[in-house]
Structure 1
Amino acid sequence: MTGRTGRGCRVAAALLTAVACGPAPARAAAPPPSAERVFGVVTWAASADRMGEGTAGRGYRLIVHLSVGGTGLRVRVTNAFGDRPLTLDSGYAGLRGRGAALRPGSNRRLTFGGARTLTVPAGAVAWSDPVPGTWPAGTDLAVSLHTPDAAGPATGHWMALQTSYTAHGEHTAEDGARNWAGTTGSWWYLDAVSVRPSRAGTGAVAVLGDSLTDGRQSTPDRDRRWPDDLARRLNTSRTHIKGVADEGLSGNKVLADDAGPSALDRLHRDVLSQPGVRTVFLFEGVNDLKAHTGVTAAELIAGYRKIARRVHGAGKCLVVATVGPFKGWPEWDTAAESVRQEVNRFLRTGRDFDAVTDFDRVLRSPDDPERIRPAYDGGDHLHPGDRGMRALADAVDLDDLDCTR
């Protein structure tokens, strides 16, 4: 799987990212297949981050919600933050019934280059082969993975706001819940799922954000993050954009590595590498503003412009959202508010983006524009609750997402 020349290397290159391979034997040139044709369109994703230590012999039944339906389902396994190879000796994907139980007959084995086991090098990700069957939009997928000898830093997404399940030993093929008695509030070793939609030309939007996009203060296990609400709108619209990749990471900043890599550092892995993404939606910056050291408006604006250049350089559109109010949060002060206002003026008038969504206007209180509207406040004066999340999703102009460059 990790050979550097010949057929083994070509198989590895098809499956793995961040693995260097030498040149293959010369042959007639052919145009490379498009990402949409090979991997379809991303239907679910979560930003990867460093987790705690991996546990040998543990199984994970990870519950994720599909935004767009289709066939040829693939899952992406991640070892982006590992310091040693990650081995999976069994994996399955099926439709969730209730709790940890699956719909009978839906659980299908995952293979990787035809093999049932996979070793992912440190720093790499790997896509599975297509899984047969039809995978409907708006349903819960259960991805079951077993790691026989995991050790060192694990990779995953800690604030899933979704209950997943754990097991001692290898039970990935089982439909029932009996051996899946443990629970976890994180997604482990899984950071994306794609399908091949039935409608030609279907694409996806990837949302690059922080805890407001990650869904903090929304109701757990109900898919109430604003990108979830956006996916429901897209599913019933005429737009060609149907897939939604929620790449929110709690505590994330545009400029500095703090709670995970900065938006600039994780842009390629979390966003631009996802199959079928046509548009990137950027809603981030409040963590830069409220940091004790703070940033200037010029520094944050330069960061937005760097993201815009890289997104456009990848041939994708960029929609940006203004930074919402956060007066009442412990780190708020007048200096940070002044920078926020200057940054929002730039975002509303700048020509670096394909469209702007004014989330500040949606969230701010009519009585005090520096505060979040009480009806939308999740309780901490920064993060919207379910009602505020829905208001953000409703404010997005769907035509802005159906964009080409």
Structure 2
Amino acid sequence: MFTTSWTASPQLPSEGFTPNWSREGFWRQSLRQVVRLSAGGGRVRVRLSHAYGTSPVRVAGASVGRTADGAAVEPGSLTRLTFGGAAQGVLHPWRASGTTARGELVSDDVPLAVAAGESVTVTLHFDSATGPATFHAQAFTTGYRGEGDRSADPGAEGFDAATESWYFLSAVEVDAGRTDAVALFGDSITDGFGSTPGANRRWSDVLAERTGRPVLNAGIGGNLLLNDSAWYGEKGVNRLRRDVLDRSGVDTLVVLLGLNDIGFSETDEQPTYKPAPVVEAGELITGHRELIRQGRAAGLTVIGATLLPFGGSDHWGERAAKVSHELNEWIRSSGEYDAVVDLNRALADPADPDRLRPSYDFGDHLHPNDAGYEVMAEAVRAAL
């Protein structure tokens, strides 16, 4: 039985927060991507997503191996991936009326001994133009691009361009036989913004270390609960099935979502999301109830997390304060979630509970730093 060990939620090709290759795509190039696993096993398979594609993409070659330094793969571990027994595969775009489930291509499983906490490198070769690439904007780890077919080359030579996004790669699964994975569902705070890039200090990473359980990160920077966005992904109530419920081995869902729904209408710093709808607490509660309904229907334990303090940030204002207080109080006291993790109180400044404690603040009064993410992970560990 295969268990999902790592995930990244697919997004529409866009400029995103930093320069990336999603709109230009790839042609006669190899793409090498590094991911950290939260569960180990003896066999591995990868899952590719073309959820936002418009035409088929030919994967001309692919491999996986244990990560060495930079773009290099540990000697002797590089293993060719196949698709239905063939060295090549076709990644079809997803269409609501189509037969391809969510535009996915899943490799055959291959022998590769990996441990929880270990990183693997997946290499994809594209010998024809892909067009715009379904991607995940904020990886907070480095990926690489090189000319030609380098999928069988364990060395780093030729990978002369770097990125901090993931492309097409949406999941890595291992034969762990586990059904106790925890999925974290949210926005940039779940995605790991503010953590040290390349250090794997997101709260999902820390939670996996402290619990020994597989932990899946289903965060998207800027994501909203109630509305779609060109840069920030499909609304939470619509993407939950694809990004969490359809993943193998998940038994617990932790929801931390709604802050951008409240805060985007307060800020002038989000030019891609204007005009931002002004939402009330009742609308957000309805959205949370829908996530609870979907999670329970899939047999999951559903845990609600209160929104972090964000006073002093560009998302803050009198209306934002009112709505966030009302939503957090409902999460705490309604009894509708199976359990509650009060991240708001865990990270609040004792001198001003509407603000992050300074020692946990990344610097924008909105996102935690590494220390803050450790506190979040510990609070969820205690609830689990």
TM-score (norm 1): 0.85
Query: How far did 1:275 drift?
Result: 0.8
Aligned match of 1:392 = 376
More deviation, 374-383/350-359: 350-359
Aligned ranges 1:6-405 → 2 under 5 Å: 37=1, 40-51=2-13, 52-123=23-94, 124-197=103-176, 201-235=178-212, 242-258=213-229, 259-292=232-265, 293-398=277-382, 400-401=383-384
Whole-Å separation in 2 of the counterparts to 1:334 and 1:340: 10
Whole-Å separation in 2 of the counterparts to 1:354 and 1:129: 37
- Residue identity in the other structure for 1:43: S
SS in 2 for 1:50: coil
- Residue identity in the other structure for 1:167: G
Whole-Å separation in 2 of the counterparts to 1:219 and 1:170: 32
Whole-Å separation in 2 of the counterparts to 1:148 and 1:319: 44
SS in 2 for 1:278: strand
- Residue identity in the other structure for 1:339: V
Q: Give % identity.
A: 41
TM-score (norm 2): 0.90
Query: How far did 1:57 drift?
Result: 1.3
Q: Which runs of 5+ in 2 are unaligned?
A: 14-22, 95-102, 266-276
Runs of 4+ residues over 6 Å off in structure 1: none
- Residue identity in the other structure for 1:326: F
Aligned match of 2:268 = none
What are the Cα deviations for residues 361-389 of structure 1, in whole angstroms up to 9, with x where unaligned? 11111111111110100000000011111
Query: How far did 1:202 drift?
Result: 4.3
- Residue identity in the other structure for 1:109: R
- Could you tell me whether the CA contact under 8 Å between 2:210 and 2:381 is conserved in 1? no
What are the Cα deviations for residues 98-132 of structure 1, in whole angstroms up to 9, with x where unaligned? 11111111000111111111111112012111111
What are the Cα deviations for residues 342-374 of structure 1, in whole angstroms up to 9, with x where unaligned? 101110122322111000011111111111110
- Could you tell me whether the CA contact under 8 Å between 2:37 and 2:120 is conserved in 1? yes
- Could you tell me whether the CA contact under 8 Å between 2:225 and 2:287 is conserved in 1? yes
SS in 1 for 2:288: helix
- Could you tell me whether the CA contact under 8 Å between 1:294 and 1:336 is conserved in 2? no
Query: How far did 1:206 drift?
Result: 1.1
SS in 2 for 1:181: strand
- Could you tell me whether the CA contact under 8 Å between 1:283 and 1:321 is conserved in 2? yes
Q: Which runs of 5+ in 1 are unaligned?
A: 1-36, 236-241
Whole-Å separation in 1 of the counterparts to 2:112 and 2:128: 31
Q: Find the structure with the greater CA-based Rg.
A: 1
Aligned pair count?
A: 354
Whole-Å separation in 2 of the counterparts to 1:135 and 1:331: 41
SS in 2 for 1:304: helix
Whole-Å separation in 2 of the counterparts to 1:296 and 1:46: 30
